[in-house]
């Protein structure tokens, strides 16, 4: 990859950083948390894709990287499905 | 040259390189799950004790956390440029980028040290003299804060050690080009340390700032 590609990725990461910081003061209430997590997830993708060279790695490497996130997804989806739904039935 | 680097169980250097890359990604998957348990704990306690967490989340040092976020994101860039230079066998450039990455990592730890001293001074350590005595769940928040940032700092410290080893080799023209796998793997590990802070930063410093 060209050096400029890395600098562009860094620019995107810093934009995400300032956006996260700025929106924290915008009084979004309960919406801030999901918005911040979406920005963080996007930043994670940029770091993995460019800085961790997934872009130029084999498809099998993609599978390994996605696998870790997939298992993390199981933990969060099943775990939060319990805790988020506890107040639904009184 | 390349024959000495190729281990006998592999057909080609490319295959060997791919295998080591896969191995490190597999290790990083376990690391993501390791931190994932703590993130899950944070999510659950945040749901169960919204008031205590909101009170505690305002007390973290936003300046230190933000400076560190910028430092670490930038160190991700310098590390990627270092790996890129190493892959192209440009030893002087690679060693400069790796050295700069170490400097940024050390600066992160220095800021973290200042922040920890400030936190201790403000009685934000869970225990007898905890600042928010009327908010017991705030102690859970700070238990998670110290554990998560502490474990992240330990990982960063290990990263600095790996970087020092890479720097010593690269500046002598080793661990670049065909034998650059270790340099690239260190870059992967550094990226992981970066990703963890990307999530810790909004969760510990921002989400409860204005609730």
B166 Cβ partners below 8 Å, 6+ apart? B98, B175, B182, B183, B186
B117-132: pLDDT as tens digits: 999 999 999 988 899 8
B178 Cβ partners below 8 Å, 6+ apart? B1, B2, B5, B13
B31-67: pLDDT as tens digits: 999 999 999 999 999 999 999 999 999 999 999 999 9
Q: Tell me the C-alpha to C-alpha distance, in Å, between residue B104 and each of A85, B72, B93, B197.
A: 43, 7, 17, 14
Question: How many CB pairs below 8 Å do chains A and B form together?
Answer: 131
* Both tokens assigned to A19: 């956006």
- Closest CB to A68 among B28, B76, B83: B28
| Shortest alpha-carbon distance between residue B34 and chain A (Å) | 10
Is B7 touching A (CB cutoff 8 A)? Answer: no
Of B89, B108, B85, residue with least CA distance to B97: B85
Instruction: Check CB contact under 8 Å for A68 and B73.
Output: no
Mean pLDDT of chain A: 93
Q: Which segments in chain B show pLDDT lower than 70? A: 1-4
pLDDT at A51: 96
Of B156, B155, B157, B167, residue with least CA distance to B98: B167
pLDDT at A1: 81
Helices B13-48 & B50-57 angle (0-180, nearest 10): 110
Nearest-angstrom CA–CA distance, B15 and A84: 45
| Shortest alpha-carbon distance between residue A90 and chain B (Å) | 16
pLDDT at B137: 92
pLDDT at B109: 97
Q: Which segments in chain A show pLDDT lower than 70? A: none
Is A74 touching B (CB cutoff 8 A)? Answer: no
Instruction: Check CB contact under 8 Å for B76 and A47.
Output: yes
Nearest-angstrom CA–CA distance, B24 and B30: 10
Nearest-angstrom CA–CA distance, B207 and B54: 8
pLDDT at B134: 87
Q: Is A23 helix (H, G, I), strand (E, B) or coil?
A: helix
pLDDT at B1: 44
pLDDT at B14: 85
pLDDT at A40: 97
Measured in residues, chain B has a length of: 211
Cα torsion B83, B86, B87, B90: sign: positive
Nearest-angstrom CA–CA distance, B93 and B97: 6
Helices B136-170 & B13-48 angle (0-180, nearest 10): 160
């Amino acid at each position: 990859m060209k050096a400029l590609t890395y600098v562009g990725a860094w620019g995107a990461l810093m934009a995400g950083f300032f956006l996260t910081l700025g929106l924290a003061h915008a009084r979004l209430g309960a919406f801030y948390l999901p918005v911040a997590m979406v920005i963080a997830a996007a930043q994670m993708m940029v770091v993995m894709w460019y800085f961790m060279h997934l872009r130029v790695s084999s498809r099998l490497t993609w599978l390994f990287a996605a696998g870790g996130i997939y298992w993390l997804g199981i933990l969060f989806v099943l775990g939060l499905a319990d805790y988020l739904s506890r107040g639904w039935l009184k | 040259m390349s024959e000495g680097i190729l281990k006998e169980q592999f057909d080609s250097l490319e295959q060997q390189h791919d295998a080591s890359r896969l191995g490190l990604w597999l290790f990083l998957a376990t690391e993501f799950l390791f931190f994932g348990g703590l993130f899950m704990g944070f999510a659950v306690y945040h749901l169960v004790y919204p008031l205590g967490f909101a009170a505690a989340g305002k007390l973290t040092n936003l300046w230190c956390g933000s400076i560190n976020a910028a430092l670490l994101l930038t160190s991700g860039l310098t590390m990627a440029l270092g790996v890129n230079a190493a892959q192209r066998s440009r030893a002087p450039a690679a060693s400069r980028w790796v050295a700069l990455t170490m400097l940024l990592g050390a600066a992160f730890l220095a800021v973290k040290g200042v922040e920890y001293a400030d936190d201790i001074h403000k009685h934000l350590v869970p225990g007898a003299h905890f600042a928010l005595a009327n908010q017991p769940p705030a102690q859970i928040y700070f238990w998670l804060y110290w554990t998560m940032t502490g474990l992240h700092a330990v990982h960063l410290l290990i990263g600095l050690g790996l970087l020092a080893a890479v720097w010593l080799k690269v500046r002598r023209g080793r661990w670049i080009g065909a034998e650059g796998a270790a340099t690239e793997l260190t870059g992967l590990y550094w990226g992981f340390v970066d990703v963890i802070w990307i999530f810790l930063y909004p969760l510990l410093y921002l989400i409860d700032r204005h609730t």
